[in-house]
Structure 1
Amino acid sequence: MIKILRIIAFFLFIGCHLAFLLSILFEKVNNFWLISGILISTALITYAYYHKNIQEEEYFFDDLQDIVYISLGALLTYFISVDLEFGSVIAAGFTGTLASYLPNIFRKTWIQRVPVAAYCGAFVGMTAPAVSSGYTFIIFSAFLTGALFISAKNVFNGFGGKLGTIAFGGVALSSLIVYLLF
């Protein structure tokens, strides 16, 4: 079952990256060099993803904790951004900085997991109020992002943009579900 989730996560990440690249392509269709660069980038990303070594771990309780930390990071960032009106970049920076100091303050082994998950949640919390319908949407997006985060735990390590791509996938999937249901 875990292997199937890893394969699904693999194709979701490729799909997210291809969506980014295709959006650029459709915006600037007339530029030959841009189209060539996008095609080369797509080929290189797919090749790198395909040949990346995948290591499997199974820690159910730790995975649930990651979902909680992602949700807390998303909620804190959204609160600071929307309710306190500091803006999404400042809010995500504050959340990431706060989370990064927690392992130094509290020397517990479980708290070592907080910074990465909370920062992934900070990207979810950066969702614009025009896209999200409030805290319910942010919590739903955080749970979907947590599921993606868990399924891609040991996949794509060393690739830049992993947390942002995971958060984008969770928010985009949430938006699609909300759009289809309502």
Structure 2
Amino acid sequence: MNKILKAIAFFLFIGCHLAFLTSVLFEKVNNLWLILGVLCSSLFITYAYYHKSIQEEEHFLEDLQDIVYVSLGGLITYFISTDLEFGAVIAAGFTGTVASYLPSISKSSEWLKRTPVPLYCGAFVGMTAPSVSSGYSFIIFSCFLTGVLFISAKNVFNGFGGKLGTIAFGGVALSSLLIYLLF
């Protein structure tokens, strides 16, 4: 069962990257250099993903807390971005900075040591533009799906840059797709 979950997470993660690169292609399809660059990037990314070793960790019940942390990071960022009107980048930067200092509050607390990464992943969800989201209900749903993706991709692509942003992109894109298909 664990191998199946890893395989699903692996292909979902690659699918998110390919969906993002494909959307770039459809926006700028008239530029040959961009198309070649995206295709080369796709090949390199797939090759790197395939040859990366996977580190195993088992903490499933503790991982369920990560959904709450992702949601908290997303809601804080979205609130600062839209309601306080500071903008998405400032809001995500603030959330990430505050999250990075949480383990300093109590150095012996394992709970505080594990909060910064999922909070920052949620900050990427909170950066969703108000024109894409339909308010806090969309952000909560996206954060939940992103939290599930975060847990499933825990043992996949460690050491690769862009993992948290890709997971957040996948959660928001999946939320948009499900809402579009259901409503």
TM-score normalised per structure 1: 0.94
What amino acid is aligned across from residue 155 of structure 1 in structure 2? V
- C-alpha separation between the residues in 2 aligned to 1:101 and 1:32? 45
Aligned-residue sequence identity (percent) comes to 79
What pairs up with 1:97-176 in 2 under 5 angstroms? Answer: 97-107=97-107, 108-176=109-177
**CA 1:88–1:45 in structure 2 vs 1: closer, same or farther (change >3 Å)?**
same
Name the structure 1 match of 2:34: 34
3-state DSSP of counterpart to 1:177: helix
- After superposing the two structures, state which structure 1 stretch, 132-141 or 17-26, moved more: 17-26
Instruction: Tell me the CA shift for residue 142 of structure 1.
Output: 0.7
- Counterpart amino acid of residue 177 in structure 1: L
Cross-structure match for 1:77: 77
Gaps of 5+ in 2: none
Give per-residue Cα distances to partners, 1:83-112, cap 9 Å, x unaligned. 111111111111001100000112211211
Residues in 2 aligned to 1:21 and 1:144: alpha-carbon distance in whole angstroms: 21
CA distance in 2, matches of 1:129, 1:179: 16
In 1, Cα distance between equivalents of 2:6 and 2:63: 14
User: Distance in 2 between the 1:136 and 1:27 partners?
Assistant: 29
Unpaired runs of 5+ residues, structure 1, are none
Amino acid at match of 2:175: S
> Are 2:55 and 1:50 equivalent residues in the alignment?
no
Q: Tell me how many residue pairs correspond in the alignment.
A: 182
Alignment CA distance shift 1:84-1:30 (3 Å): closer
Verify the 8 A CA contact 2:70 2:147 in the aligned structure 1. yes
Greater alpha carbon shift after TM alignment, 12-21 vs 83-92? 12-21
The letter of the residue matching 2:19 is: A
Q: Which runs of 4+ in 1 moved over 4 A?
A: none
Output the CA distance in 2 between the equivalents of 1:177 and 1:29.
Answer: 27
Distance 1:128 1:27 in 2: 18
The residue type equivalent to 2:80 in the other structure is I
| Residues in 1 aligned to 2:157 and 2:128: alpha-carbon distance in whole angstroms | 24
Match of 2:19 in 1: 19
Larger displacement relative to structure 2 (151-160 or 25-34): 25-34
Q: In structure 2, what is the Cα distance between the partners aligned to 1:139 and 1:35?
A: 35
- Which stretch has the larger CA shift, 77-86 or 166-175? 77-86
Query: How far 1:23 moved relative to its partner?
Result: 2.1
Q: CA deviation at 1:122?
A: 0.3
Instruction: Report the RMSD for the aligned CA atoms in angstroms.
Output: 1.3
- 1:178 and 1:58 map into 2 onto residues whose CA distance is 32
One-letter code of the match for 1:27? E
Equivalences for residues 85-96 of structure 1 within 5 A: 85-96=85-96
